[in-house]
């Protein structure tokens, strides 16, 4: 079986390596010529994905994995085409289909009769049948009659993709039964996980949007309860831990925002349809406002932020993963600068050049003197960091409630948590 994976990003490249590990002949397609060259040499261009470097090296050595910038040519030789290119948001928070449309046009130029195309990108409901399908029919082939078309959402997290591919069931829906069955047969050969079928592609698309929006709404609940706890002088962390001893309570951890490719993005893919999803809109408003709330606490504690130097620790959106998509650090830096502070950013997983390229002020090496520190992502490298090394630091905003209040206060600094 010849498999073509369109999109060799942080999800697509591990998928290609996974399929190759099962003995399938895989070609990965991406417009990034440098990335393609690295993969073709058996090298891993991504940092921090456990097991990926070895998987690529072994797959290329076994002639099971290759890479190319010519998507149409690769598709012409494939029985299965897996599409995993990003659909993000435009500046006005509408779905950005530009990369998916480009990929579809390239696939259409090489699509052959009998091929199976599976979309794994998170998309609005109806995209597989209503957008990708017609774009592929430009080839002159008809979906359902001349080629199979299915949807199966990626459900993995960067940094642990191979483990997630084994533990999370694969959801599959097709535009018809034949497409669904073909996709199920492929995944049973390419993965070790259980396969769950749903009645159609639209239901499968909705599964991914529902499960990630669930998380966004529950984080917003934790954040709003944390705001209440602050007003009443309560400790939300203590209260949540006690509440979660009841098996029906699963309160999440409050913080200074929600990051990543999925959670802050996917609710907008649902809301874009115009249906009044009031709870989702409110959750997005709460979560998007947490960075400003945290900075406001810091400003109140210091009297003013004008002229202050504030160090934000962690550009990554979550600990120990080199991924900055949707990171709360961007909102924190904007809020700090808007209130007159000088916001510096450090992250051991990113270089100074990468931080600067993201539009932020890099702090390399760590500065000796700052007025305040914000914990945005507590990487393992920060756990032994002695806050006392920052001369003049008066306050620490623990944006993830990850530090010990007593230890911070023992160093003569104000401890500021979220809901604490």
Work out the pLDDT band at 274, boundaries 50, 70, 90.
Answer: confident
Work out the pLDDT band at 48, boundaries 50, 70, 90.
Answer: confident
pLDDT value of position 333: 98
pLDDT value of position 389: 92
Q: How far apart are CA 99 and CA 84, in angstroms?
A: 10
- Condensed to tens digits (0 to 9), the pLDDT of residues 70-120 reads 999 999 999 999 999 999 999 999 999 999 999 999 999 999 999 999 999
The dihedral formed by the CA atoms of 107, 108, 110 and 115, expressed in degrees to the nearest 10: 80
Mean predicted lDDT score pLDDT of the chain: 96
254 Cα distance to chain centroid = 18
The topology under which CATH files domain 2-202 is Rossmann fold (3.40.50)
- Condensed to tens digits (0 to 9), the pLDDT of residues 382-401 reads 998 999 999 999 999 999 99
Q: What is the DSSP string of 162-211?
A: HHHHHHSPEEEEESSHHHHHHHHHHHHHH-SS-EEE-SSHHHHHHHHHHH
CB 396 within 8 A of CB 413: yes
Examine residue 42 and say whether the peptide bond preceding it is cis (omega within 30 degrees of 0): no
State yes or no: pLDDT of 275 exceeds 90: no
pLDDT value of position 225: 98
Residues of the chain with pLDDT > 90: what percent? 98
pLDDT value of position 376: 98
Where does CATH 3.40.50.720 sit in the chain?
2-202, 210-420
CB 137 within 8 A of CB 143: yes
Q: Can you tell me which residue has the tokens 């456990």?
A: 50
State yes or no: pLDDT of 364 exceeds 90: yes
Mean pLDDT of 329-341: 98
CA distance to 47, 249, 378, 379, per residue, from 349 (Å): 9, 35, 12, 9
Return the axis-axis angle of helices 201-232 and 290-302, rounded to nearest 10°: 20
311 Cα distance to chain centroid = 24
pTM above 0.85, yes or no: yes
Q: What is the largest CA-CA distance in the chain?
A: 72
Residues of the chain with pLDDT > 70: what percent? 100
Enclosing H/E stretch for 231? helix 201-232
State yes or no: pLDDT of 273 exceeds 90: no
pLDDT value of position 236: 97
CA angle 146, 151, 153 (to 5 degrees): 160
Looking at the domain that runs over 210-420, which CATH code has it been given? 3.40.50.720
Q: Which of 378, 379, 374 is nearest to 398 (CA)?
A: 374
Mean pLDDT of 336-342: 98
The dihedral formed by the CA atoms of 28, 159, 343 and 301, expressed in degrees to the nearest 10: 150
pLDDT value of position 47: 87
Count other C-beta atoms under 10 Å from residue 25's C-beta: 17
Q: How far apart are CA 79 and CA 299, in angstroms?
A: 59
CA angle 348, 349, 354 (to 5 degrees): 100
């Amino acid at each position: 079986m010849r498999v073509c994976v369109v999109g060799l990003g942080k999800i697509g490249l591990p998928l290609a390596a996974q399929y190759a590990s099962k003995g399938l002949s895989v070609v990965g397609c991406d417009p990034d010529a440098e990335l393609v060259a690295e993969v073709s040499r058996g090298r891993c261009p991504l940092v921090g994905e456990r097991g990926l470097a070895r998987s690529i090296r072994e797959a290329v050595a076994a002639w099971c994995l290759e890479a190319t910038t010519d998507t149409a040519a690769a598709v012409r030789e494939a029985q299965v085409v897996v599409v995993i290119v990003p659909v993000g948001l435009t500046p006005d928070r509408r779905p950005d289909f530009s990369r998916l449309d480009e990929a579809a046009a390239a696939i259409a130029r090489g699509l052959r009769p009998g091929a199976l195309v599976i979309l794994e990108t998170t998309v609005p409901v109806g995209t597989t049948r209503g957008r990708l399908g017609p774009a592929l029919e430009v080839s002159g082939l008809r979906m359902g009659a001349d080629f199979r078309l299915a949807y199966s959402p990626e459900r993995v997290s960067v940094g642990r993709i191979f483990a997630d591919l084994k533990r999370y069931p694969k959801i599959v829906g097709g535009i018809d039964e034949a497409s669904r069955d073909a996709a199920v047969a492929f995944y049973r050969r390419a993965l070790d996980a259980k396969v769950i079928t749903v009645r159609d592609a639209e239901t499968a698309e909705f599964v991914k949007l529902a499960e990630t929006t669930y998380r966004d709404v529950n984080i917003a609940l934790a954040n709003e309860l944390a705001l209440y706890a602050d007003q009443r002088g309560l400790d939300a962390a203590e209260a949540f831990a006690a509440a979660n001893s009841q098996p029906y309570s699963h309160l999440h951890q409050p913080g200074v925002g929600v990051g990543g490719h999925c959670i802050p993005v996917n609710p907008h893919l649902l809301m874009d349809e115009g249906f009044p999803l009031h709870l989702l809109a409110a959750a997005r408003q709460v979560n998007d406002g947490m960075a400003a709330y945290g900075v406001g606490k810091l400003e109140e504690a210091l009297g003013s932020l004008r002229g202050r130097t504030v160090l934000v620790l962690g550009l990554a959106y979550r600990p120990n993963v080199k991924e900055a998509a949707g990171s709360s650090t961007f909102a924190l830096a904007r809020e700090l600068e808007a209130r007159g502070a000088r916001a510096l950013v450090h992250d051991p997983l990113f270089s100074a050049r990468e931080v600067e390229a993201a539009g932020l002020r890099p702090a390399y090496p760590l500065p000796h003197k700052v007025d305040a520190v914000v914990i945005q992502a507590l990487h393992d490298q920060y756990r032994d960091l002695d806050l006392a090394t920052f001369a003049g630091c008066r306050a620490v905003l623990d944006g993830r409630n990850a530090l010990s209040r007593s230890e911070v206060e023992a160093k003569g600094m104000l401890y500021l948590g979220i809901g604490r």
